[in-house]
Structure 1
Amino acid sequence: MRVLLLMTAIFFQLTSFGSASSIEYGNVESIDLNLRDHEIAVTFLGLSDGEATLIQGSNGENILVNMGGEETSEELRDMLKTYGVKEISTLVITNRQNLFVNQLSPIISKYNVKQLISTPEIANELTDMAAAFTEVVVVPWKEGTAQILLPDLSADVLFAGNGEDEGLDFRLQFFKHRLFLMTSSSDRAEENLLKKNLDDINIFKVPNWAMEDSLSEKLIQYVNPQISILFESEQHQPDPDIIYELQDTWSEVFFTKKHGNITIKFTENNYEVFTFPVEKEDYS
């Protein structure tokens, strides 16, 4: 199991940065975020490969966006245990590159998943697979879909493509906070997104591991996020130009490869960022 070594907390107010502090921990085996009413936490999991985002509500519900890489199922299980996750109400699969059929059934069974969400094309495939689980509902998201996911947390789909390097691009809104989870990196998706309302984005999940040509400078400036999140990939390296362009907008850039688990706790008016670097161990 990866061992959590350190927690660094950085406090952000709506319009300005607060103080930063670093707190030494021993071997942290569990993390209690102590969520109260009108609070949520979003954690970008620092797996050795692939994308997985955990959304936790004060009502005890958990949402998982993607399942990590093809060989990271044990890591994912251990990290979910660390965050006290016993059930997952909703699993979102953003695109075909994040669809690992051999991982789906174990996750549905172990975490009692009730709802699967994906693009209309992938949702059709998941319907047949989910037929073995009588309580699982498959929900297709298309452009323009809006859905309440948790109390005070809504999602609206800005783009849903089925072409190469396309998938679900959606915005989460929690009170005044806005998170943009972007998957697509095609020209068609970008042209579409440049027509959407992407003002006041607090958190931006960068698509396609920030590979070359996955984001244009124009779109980065249009989104203009306060914080950008990049997942780790064993096969792909981020484009330094994209990193520079993100930083040039004064976005604070976090990397799961460097920072480990990146947890952002939201209240009605503020949010706080915690990083939990992890020691990688061989799961093979």
Structure 2
Amino acid sequence: MIKILISAVLFFSFMNCSVSAAVIKNVDFGLQADEVVITFLPLSAGEASLIQDGSGETILINTGNASSYPELKKWLKRYKVKKINQLVITKQQKYYDSNVQRAVNDYHIERIIVPAQYQAEFQTEKWKESDLFQLTNNIHVDVLHASKQKTAAMDLLFTIGEHRILYAMSSSDEVEEKFLRIPLTHVDVLKIPNFGEGTFFSNAFLKQLDTQLAVAFTKPGRSYSPRLLSNLTAEWIELYDVREGSAYSIKMSLKSYDVMKFSAK
């Protein structure tokens, strides 16, 4: 059951890929042991995603740009986060990892996971390509690709029950060909790389993913690739854009999931 303390509510309850909407002050998902919620947080500059597991584990993926840290803290408070067990950084770049030290201090983070090429002054656990990890009893992660370029980055596949989330950081033809060869299929959620800018996945690849929805973060001056929007539309993939100030939470059980939209207005 979802317990929401609200100032005003617009809440519709559907099954699977439905979207419920609410203006919130505080959220408690009341997770069962086999349930997981991933929330894509609406920072004005950069990426940050929150994973809450039914076992009580809390995982943060990226921390956004330095300017967005007050926003990150506000949203974590609304999701009742006081401690973060694990921090995963998917790219060494200011829109992803500018608030690591502040988050470590404020949320008592002990485990920091980074790409193999990552250079850090703090203690980290480095993940390399083809590694497979179990973050919690419910969450498994495959490192599908690790950049060998100057900027350290990694593309991750999260498996939660029967659901798969592709947390993509790369969108080059080379990486797409690698994913096609795996082959990468039956992905429920695609996190769009590079804020929706630049080169993007082909229709053939999106068709193979068989994904239902995509999520995009934002940064100042972001402009979507026309090819991205065209390809998503052609494959009937719904795009959730956090730039409008709403967080999207996807609550997953072993076999089903629900999408909820929480507005800060």
Common fold, TM-score beyond 0.5? Answer: yes
Instruction: Provide, for residues 159-213 of structure 1, a one-character-per-residue CA deviation record: whole Å limited to 9, x for no partner.
Output: 0103267721111111111111001123332222222232111011010111131
Distance 2:197 2:8 in 1: 29
- The answer as to whether partners of 2:129 and 2:144 remain within 8 angstroms in 1 is yes
Quick one: which of 122, 130, 143 aligns to 1:144?
Answer: 130
CA RMSD of aligned residues (A): 2.4
Instruction: Kindly indicate whether residue 75 of structure 2 is the aligned counterpart of residue 79 of structure 1.
Output: yes
Distance 1:168 1:205 in 2: 13
The percent identity for this pair of structures is 27
Instruction: Kindly indicate whether residue 31 of structure 2 is the aligned counterpart of residue 31 of structure 1.
Output: no
Quick one: which of 78, 95, 99 aligns to 1:103?
Answer: 99
Runs of 5+ consecutive residues of structure 1 not aligned to the other structure: 131-137, 280-284
**Amino acid in structure 2 at the alignment position of 1:272:** D
**Amino acid in structure 1 at the alignment position of 2:224:** P
Shift of residue 39 of structure 1?
0.3
Instruction: Provide, for residues 194-234 of structure 1, a one-character-per-residue CA deviation record: whole Å limited to 9, x for no partner.
Output: 22232111011010111131433333233231111011121
Aligned length: 260
- The answer as to whether partners of 1:67 and 1:98 remain within 8 angstroms in 2 is no
Q: Structure 1 residues 10 and 45, CA, compared in 2 at 3 Å: closer, same or farther?
A: farther
Distance 1:253 1:39 in 2: 24
Instruction: Kindly indicate whether residue 66 of structure 2 is the aligned counterpart of residue 70 of structure 1.
Output: yes
- The answer as to whether partners of 1:208 and 1:214 remain within 8 angstroms in 2 is no
Shift of residue 38 of structure 1?
0.3
- 1:199 is aligned to 185
Runs of 5+ consecutive residues of structure 2 not aligned to the other structure: 1-5
- 2:212 is aligned to 226
Shift of residue 58 of structure 1?
1.1
- 1:52 is aligned to 48
- The answer as to whether partners of 1:7 and 1:276 remain within 8 angstroms in 2 is no
Q: Structure 1 residues 182 and 250, CA, compared in 2 at 3 Å: closer, same or farther?
A: same
Instruction: Provide, for residues 111-143 of structure 1, a one-character-per-residue CA deviation record: whole Å limited to 9, x for no partner.
Output: 111111111111xx23x323xxxxxxx211111
TM-score by length of 2: 0.89
Quick one: which of 179, 182, 188 aligns to 2:174?
Answer: 188
Other structure's SS at 1:185 match: coil
Other structure's SS at 2:99 match: helix
Q: Structure 1 residues 48 and 7, CA, compared in 2 at 3 Å: closer, same or farther?
A: farther
Other structure's SS at 2:201 match: coil
Q: Structure 1 residues 231 and 115, CA, compared in 2 at 3 Å: closer, same or farther?
A: same
- 2:111 is aligned to 115
- The answer as to whether partners of 1:70 and 1:100 remain within 8 angstroms in 2 is no
TM-score by length of 1: 0.83
Runs of 4+ in 1 over 4 A off after TM superposition: 3-10, 98-102
**Amino acid in structure 2 at the alignment position of 1:191:** E
